[in-house]
Structure 1
Amino acid sequence: MTKLRVGVLGIGSMGRHHVRNAKNTEGFELVALADPAGDRFGVAGDMEVLPDVESMIAAGIDAAIVAVPTVYHEDAALKLAAAGVHTMVEKPLAADVASGERIAKAFADAGLVGAVGYVERCNPALLEMRKRIQEGQLGQIFQIVTRRQSPFPARISDVGVVKDLATHDVDLAAWVAGSEYESVYAQTTYRSGREHEDMLVASGRFRNGVLVNHLVNWMSPFKDRTTIVTGEHGALVADTAMGDLTFHENGDMPVQWDQIAAFRGVSEGQVVRYALTKREPLAVEHEHFRDAILGVASEHVTMEQGLTALRVVEGILDSARTGDSVRF
């Protein structure tokens, strides 16, 4: 099989991991690296580090992975689309909706695969969670809650916690719910002295009636990556930092304590933690991108889906700024 010639633009904190996975993805041949800042993490090996996207295109690539700061996504993506290069852009798709619309249109008009790097969709816990929900394990879904908390990452300078972190939860919650956002209400704070927000609380509703809540911040001295889906038969809890999935089943034993029984809708049942095959999510994401280019599958996050997430993210920021709920 002829391998796809791949280039990686941006080999910094995130791009270095793309380099490693591109080297190891069957069907990929990593032929070009580009970063105006050079090889800060020493991942190039014997490969030359090119100065820009133009020189990477000139190397003769079939596909590209863009891992530069968000503000540079549009310039790079439009040049790659014009050159006929299938491209995966790290999340978020662009710095704003208008920019994202131009990117998505360029790839659609050129008939190219355009993907967005929402790697959480490839997390083993979330893949298993979504499969079990689709199979009906929880019955009707009532609510999705996400928590994404950690100390501030020094690598981030161009966006706040909403576009950097909450965008993951916006995308994965809609993917798990199988629906689009109908409305959202949000509040943010600025506690670290930076120009961008560093804490978020948001609540909303999907078009299918499922409630959603997001708690996101860069001010916690611990890392928390949790997604909880509650339905009529119990709850599935995904710890995506560890790739673990646990099922909390509604109990089938009657509550015999009258004071509690009067207030509780369900009782506690069995708790099961599933044994999962834990592959690196980024490796799975690269395979999805490859398979989309080859036309054998379509599990990648499309640019249209990335654009939808970007619209919700901007709605969250609008709501936080105005104090009003935003409808989509």
Structure 2
Amino acid sequence: MTSAPLRAGLIGLGAMGRNHCRVLAGLEGVDLVGVVDPKGDPKAAHGAPVLDTVEELIALGVDYAVVACPTALHEEVGLTLAGAGVGALIEKPLAHTVEAAQALVDAFEAAGLVAGVGHIERYNPALQNLRGRLEAGELGDVYQVVTRRQGPFPHRIADVGVVKDLATHDIDLTSWVTGQEYVSVAAHTVSKSGRPHEDMVAVVGQLADSTMVNHLVNWLSPLKERTTVVTGERGCFVADTLTADLTFFANGVQDTEWEALRAFRGVSEGDMVRYAIPKREPLLVEHERFRDAVLGVPSDIVTLRQGLRTVQVSAAVLESAQSGRTITIQEKGETSDGA
């Protein structure tokens, strides 16, 4: 890049913030000029000054900032940045409530600023490859999307439950890979860890094209699993986002002479293919895409409106779990009792 580097800042130097800091510090075409965290460890800031307030960062003159502070602070921090004319990449979820997410959308759009949400799974190589294959029609009609996201409790999380912390990944990636919006959800939650928030959720949903959706998400399991299975007319894709592997299981076409099986009219096992795909770090790709968007280069980022929609669906999941009813999600994101 021949133009002057973009000046970037980081807000929050926790577990995720440290990863953002590492990537920003080495990102081509970007200078990390300051990190905001009153209790931040200067050793983790990669040489950038550690500041106490967002206002101090703004005073340094920044083109954009990465917001990686606790979710409950996203609205306040984001509105401050928008008011100062600073673009923002805000960690997922966009905000802790639908109202706060809407306020951020309104503020950044009114200011005409580039802003996005850090739904990092969109940049996982397996899901990127899967989306391209679905768009090319390799699976035919899509029938179902099933995700499993489970593992031990992450001690970095204190302010939200498993729905807003983890299930938002699955909600966003499901809409993104299929190109379809959610129209209804029904959910059950469990709280077993003694915390005020839920730590397990099971969701059944439906997308606009009638695709069935199932999400099982928890942080109560010693088994760490990050799996997305898309089943359709010609077979199923299995994406493992821990290893960035993508496998296709084709419906069988081989005829059989076994009379008992010949009478079966469903699918049968066919060939299995595991694709060899490049495996770049998703967080680095996310930052490259956002940098390009700030520079005015057409780039695939998660917009604030898409982030808002994910917050709306996650709120419907929690509403369903609390009420015991199916929640219908209207076109503009409002929810209604589907029972």
8 Å CA contact 1:146–1:213 kept in 2: the answer is: yes
Please tell me whether residue 231 in structure 1 is matched to residue 227 in structure 2.
no
Q: Secondary structure at the match of 2:160?
A: coil
The Cα offsets for residues 7-45 of structure 1, whole Å up to 9 and x where unpaired, read as 0000110000101111222221111111011217x3224
Give the Cα–Cα distance (whole angstroms) in 1 for the partners of residues 184 and 143 of structure 2.
16
Give the Cα–Cα distance (whole angstroms) in 1 for the partners of residues 131 and 310 of structure 2.
18
Q: Where does residue 157 of structure 1 map in the other structure?
A: 158
Q: Where does residue 92 of structure 1 map in the other structure?
A: 93
Give the Cα–Cα distance (whole angstroms) in 1 for the partners of residues 200 and 284 of structure 2.
30
Offset of residue 209 of structure 1: 1.3
Whichever residue aligns with residue 167 of structure 1, its letter is T
Q: Secondary structure at the match of 2:88?
A: strand
Q: Secondary structure at the match of 1:219?
A: coil
Q: Where does residue 61 of structure 1 map in the other structure?
A: 62
Whichever residue aligns with residue 14 of structure 1, its letter is M
Offset of residue 79 of structure 1: 0.4
Whichever residue aligns with residue 65 of structure 1, its letter is V
Q: Where does residue 2 of structure 1 map in the other structure?
A: 4
Offset of residue 256 of structure 1: 3.6
8 Å CA contact 1:160–1:198 kept in 2: the answer is: yes
Of 6, 21, 24, the match for 1:22: 24
Whichever residue aligns with residue 250 of structure 2, its letter is E
Give the Cα–Cα distance (whole angstroms) in 2 for the partners of residues 139 and 64 of structure 1.
41
Q: Secondary structure at the match of 2:94?
A: coil
The Cα offsets for residues 124-170 of structure 1, whole Å up to 9 and x where unpaired, read as 00000000111111011111000000100111000000000000000
Offset of residue 281 of structure 1: 0.2
Q: Where does residue 143 of structure 2 map in the other structure?
A: 142
Q: Secondary structure at the match of 1:220?
A: coil
Give the Cα–Cα distance (whole angstroms) in 2 for the partners of residues 226 and 197 of structure 1.
21
Q: CA RMSD in A?
A: 1.1
Give the Cα–Cα distance (whole angstroms) in 2 for the partners of residues 238 and 109 of structure 1.
38
Larger mean Cα displacement after TM superposition, 51-60 or 72-81: 51-60
Offset of residue 255 of structure 1: 3.8
Shift in CA distance, 206/48, structure 1 to aligned 2, threshold 3 Å: same
TM-score norm. by structure 1 comes to: 0.97
Offset of residue 261 of structure 1: 4.3
> For 1:263-302, what aligned pairs fall within 5 Å after superposition?
263=264, 265-302=266-303
Offset of residue 323 of structure 1: 0.3
Q: Secondary structure at the match of 2:223?
A: strand
Offset of residue 181 of structure 1: 0.4
Q: Where does residue 204 of structure 1 map in the other structure?
A: 205
8 Å CA contact 1:81–1:112 kept in 2: the answer is: yes
- Which consecutive residues of structure 2, in runs of 5 or more, have no partner in the other structure? 330-339
Offset of residue 263 of structure 1: 4.3
Counting aligned pairs with the same residue, the percent is 54
Q: Secondary structure at the match of 1:221?
A: coil
Offset of residue 264 of structure 1: 5.4
Q: Where does residue 324 of structure 2 map in the other structure?
A: 323
Whichever residue aligns with residue 196 of structure 2, its letter is E
Q: Where does residue 84 of structure 2 map in the other structure?
A: 83
Q: Where does residue 131 of structure 1 map in the other structure?
A: 132
- Which consecutive residues of structure 1, in runs of 5 or more, have no partner in the other structure? none
Q: Secondary structure at the match of 2:213?
A: strand
Q: Secondary structure at the match of 2:45?
A: coil
Offset of residue 175 of structure 1: 0.6
Q: Where does residue 38 of structure 1 map in the other structure?
A: 40
Give the Cα–Cα distance (whole angstroms) in 1 for the partners of residues 14 and 292 of structure 2.
26
Q: Secondary structure at the match of 2:44?
A: coil
Q: Secondary structure at the match of 2:299?
A: coil
Q: Secondary structure at the match of 2:151?
A: strand
Please tell me whether residue 310 in structure 1 is matched to residue 317 in structure 2.
no
8 Å CA contact 1:255–1:267 kept in 2: the answer is: no
Whichever residue aligns with residue 250 of structure 1, its letter is N
The Cα offsets for residues 266-317 of structure 1, whole Å up to 9 and x where unpaired, read as 1111111111110000000001111111221230000000000000000000
Whichever residue aligns with residue 116 of structure 2, its letter is A
8 Å CA contact 2:21–2:46 kept in 1: the answer is: no
Give the Cα–Cα distance (whole angstroms) in 2 for the partners of residues 157 and 47 of structure 1.
27
Offset of residue 88 of structure 1: 0.5
Give the Cα–Cα distance (whole angstroms) in 1 for the partners of residues 110 and 46 of structure 2.
36
Q: Where does residue 258 of structure 2 map in the other structure?
A: 257
Aligned length: 327
Please tell me whether residue 169 in structure 1 is matched to residue 170 in structure 2.
yes
Give the Cα–Cα distance (whole angstroms) in 2 for the partners of residues 94 and 280 of structure 1.
25
Offset of residue 105 of structure 1: 0.4
Give the Cα–Cα distance (whole angstroms) in 2 for the partners of residues 105 and 81 of structure 1.
10
Q: Secondary structure at the match of 1:94?
A: coil
TM-score norm. by structure 2 comes to: 0.94
